[in-house]
Structure 1
Amino acid sequence: MTEPSTPFRLGGFAAKAQRLFAEANALAEQGLPAEAEAVYRRALALDPRLAEAHNNLGNVLRALGRVAEAVAAYREALACGLDHPLVHYNLASALKAVGEAGPAERSFRRALAMRPDYAEAFNNLANLLREQDRLTDSADAYRRALALRPDWDEAHDNLSGALYLLHEDGRDEEAARFARLWLRDHPDHPVARHIGAALAGFVPDDRASDAYVRQVFDHFAGEFESKLAELGYRAPALLADALEKEGAPADTSLAMLDAGCGTGLCAPLLRPWARRLVGVDLSPGMLDHARARGLYDELAEAELGAFLSAHPGAFDLIVAADVLCYFGALDTVLAQAAAALRPGGRLAFTVERLDAAQPHRVSPHGRYAHAEGYVRGCLDAAGLSMARLSRDTLRFESGEPVDGLVVVAVRGADA
């Protein structure tokens, strides 16, 4: 969620005040908010009615984390006659940050009354409404933002989140109605195609698209690990435990692939067993975090199936922690994994467990769940023997445990 504050560069001031105003703007652009604040205040000491300087002072105060002072600065800009949608937007964003929801909403709506094509104001008004559980109004506002900026990935992600909350609130029909409108208006956007189809109850694709996976994980790369910690995420630890019980060697002898490595949460658990540890992921944002760990010998940005196909017989162990939940049909990717293993090599993975007659089903959060019998059948077809399968809680979703399958399979020695 972004709430960019917007500066002004308008003239009409006394010459010295204007020079100081320009100097302060330059300092702010250089990322020096404290220095810029001092110069804005010097300009305002010369001319307290420099409305644009009050607005831009509010911007640097927000950058310094002094949001209540920023509110006062934006209000001063308005009081000095700068009745402009950008100032109302800046004030609304600051009011939202200090928890003044009612005044923030009024300021967002004032900005939109003055500038009906203000997509950012619609998006951040929608964020405010979502935080108040006004989910219908929030979804409407996100749709207005997307009507103005159809390719805005952040607004698509935000609308996805609002519709998921509608679903979680038991308002499935309303969520489905919005999802159908979303798909109608944005049929080619990857998030609409995947999440919208799931919420609308349409027949899903066999797997999440590369574009969807890349966008979702790039968007959350910076907060991915903190979010998983909040959810009690356990998949890497469960896989490490399963491998130990299946006799993984205690030395560093294995060529290992961390498939869908993300930020590298599995790396500290795998490194003690690895002669060579390779990670592959679609998201460059996630790979940046994995690289910072310094535990991988190689990191590759690639689609998993294509990477596996390009490395036949390369690995003693492939680990996929909560990766195959972005595949519905597992037959192809498991066959590709089997081919990338050396004879006797292991594949360890988790999937969410589906307690239903169908083989797999996509949930409104965008992940697939799989029936145990279907998983076993796909492993057999791929030439992989089941060494271990257990049920366990992978994480918590909306306070409820997510039941998963923890699987270790082996490629035959004579394969």
Structure 2
Amino acid sequence: MNPHQLSSGDLIADRRAEYAQMLAASGDHAEAADLMRQALELAPDWAAGWFRLAEHEEKSGEREAAAASLARVLDLNPDDIFGARLKRAVLGADDVPGQAPSAYVARLFDDYADRFDAALVERLDYTVPGRLAEMVESFTNGATLERAIDLGCGTGLFGAEIRPHVGMLEGYDLSSNMLAKAAEKHLYDHLGEADLSKPLAASGLIAHDYPEGRADLAAAADVLMYLGDLVAVFAIVPHLLKAGGLFAFSVEDAEAAPVNSSADGFLLRPSLRYAHSEAYVRGLCETAGLEVLDVARATIRKDGAQDVAGILFLSRKSL
């Protein structure tokens, strides 16, 4: 959810916030912050307004004030649909959380769904789905796999790449709008909501007709950067795979990513996405009984004008 799209419910406060946004667009962030504070005097319980104020304060160099405004956002919105806790960590005001809030990720991609394909493929040179599919096809010599599970399937970009090589394709995502876009492509035999940050039984990935140990392939293309601590993911995936099943996934490369905050094995970038080290991922694979078959470093997309470095992995569950 874009915080700039949310109304305070007070017409004058909204008008002042609009003027503040115009000032920010012209580069006058300090004046934008002052005008936003005036708006919040009229609407003091406006969580989106406090988030806007924090943005203006940060860009005007008022980092401590921005952190305080973000704390107010969290008071008003404990589910944290704005990612305020992540922003506070980037500012150095909080420890790096183990993951992005599920509500934040779901709302982010609900808002992004309509323009997702055009933004990533046409403007940001997004390459992960094709590269992961090539890694899988190279290992299997193009053989058809019986069943694949696309974790964080989004609009179906990886699904389109792997569909010709699988008999049954499942897709799961946190965002209902993303799932609706994926359904329009008629790639998947089953689509459902799922949360990789939860234990397997509560994740949405297991049901009567979809038991454990069913997949020849699980994939997570450009998904794990919203989950800093990947222990839960690597506890789930082996339960989805048959013996010898493959897990193909990507991470942003911590060794190549400038960051403001860090934790063991993963880093939180200013983009509010996580980057992971190869050593951290290899350790999780070993603990989960996944043999690493292939690793490739590549530019996986752009972030504005900057290239984003990533690491692509292909692993296999023990036979």
- TM-score, normalised via structure 1 length: 0.64
Q: Within 2, Cα distance between the matches of 1:369 and 1:205?
A: 13
What corresponds to 2:250 in structure 1? 350
1:376 maps to 282
User: 1:27 — aligned with what?
Assistant: none
Cα distance in structure 1, aligned partners of 2:83 and 2:34: 15
Instruction: Label 1:309 to 1:194 Cα distance change in 2 as closer, same or farther (>3 A).
Output: farther
1:229-240 pair list within 5 angstroms: 229-240=122-133
Is 1:266 the counterpart of 2:165 in the alignment?
Answer: no
Equivalent position of 1:191 in the other structure: 82
**CA contact 1:146–1:152 (8 Å) conserved in 2:** no
Deviations 1:5-32 (A, max 9, x none): xxxxxxxxxxxxxxxxxxxxxxxxxxxx
Instruction: Give the total of aligned pairs.
Output: 295
Is 2:214–2:240's contact at 8 Å kept on the other side of the alignment?
A: yes
Contact 2:296 2:312 in 1 (8 A): yes
Q: CA deviation at 1:149?
A: 7.0
- Of 216, 238, 263, 1:338 maps to 238
Tell me how far apart the structure 1 counterparts of residues 245 and 140 of structure 2 sit (CA, whole Å).
12
Runs of 4+ with deviation above 6 angstroms:
1-4
- Are residue 397 (structure 1) and residue 291 (structure 2) matched? no
Cα pair distance change 1:385/1:141, threshold 3 Å? farther
- 2-structure distance, mates of 1:160, 1:285: 28
Is the contact between residue 352 and residue 405 of structure 1 (CA under 8 Å) also seen in structure 2?
yes
The answer as to 2:24 corresponding to 1:130 is yes
Which structure 1 segments of 5+ residues have no match?
A: 5-114
Whole-angstrom distance in 1 between the partners of 2:168 and 2:242: 14
When Rg is computed on C-alpha atoms for both structures, the one with the higher figure is: 1
When you count strand as a share of all residues, which structure comes out higher?
Answer: 2
Aligned-pair identity in percent equals 32
| 196 and 163 in structure 1: CA distance in 2 versus 1, 3 angstrom threshold | farther
The answer to whether the aligner puts 1:207 opposite 2:99 as a matched pair is: yes
The answer on whether the counterparts of 1:317 and 1:345 sit within 8 Å (CA) in structure 2 is yes
Asked whether the equivalents of residues 175 and 199 of structure 1 are also in contact (C-alpha less than 8 Å), the reply is no
Give the superposition deviation at 1:204: 1.9
- Provide the C-alpha distance between the structure 2 equivalents of 1:338 and 1:363, rounded to a whole number of angstroms: 28
Aligned counterpart, 1:280: 172
Q: Would you say the 8 A contact 1:348–1:409 is kept in 2?
A: yes
Partner of 1:89: none
Select the structure that is richer in helix.
1
Structure 2 CA distance, aligned partners of 1:146 and 1:300? Answer: 39
RMSD, aligned α-carbons: 2.9
Q: Distance in 1 between matches of 2:286 and 2:51?
A: 37
| Structure 2 match to 1:73 | none
Give the unaligned 5+ runs of structure 2.
256-261
Counterpart of 1:61?
Answer: none
| Letter in structure 1 aligned against 2:180 | D
1:294 partner SS: coil
SS, match of residue 307 in structure 1: coil
Match of 2:103, SS state, is helix
Does the 8 Å contact 2:110/2:175 carry over to 1? yes
Are residues 118 and 272 of structure 1, via their aligned partners in 2, closer, same or farther at CA, if it must alter by over 3 Å? same
Which of the numbers 229, 243, 260 marks the counterpart of 2:136?
243
Q: Distance in 2 between the 1:400 and 1:216 partners?
A: 21
Structure 1 residue matching 2:171: 3-state secondary structure: strand
SS in 2 for 1:246: helix
Question: Larger deviation: 382-391 or 253-262?
Answer: 253-262
Contact 1:3 1:124 in 2 (8 A): no
TM-score, normalised by the number of residues in structure 2: 0.82
Offset of residue 376 of structure 1: 0.5
Structure 1 residue 393 displacement after superposition: 0.6
Deviations 1:294-336 (A, max 9, x none): 1111110121341346541121111111111111111221121
CA distance in 2, matches of 1:308, 1:283: 15
Contact 2:16 2:36 in 1 (8 A): yes
Q: Alpha-carbon deviation of 1:278?
A: 0.8
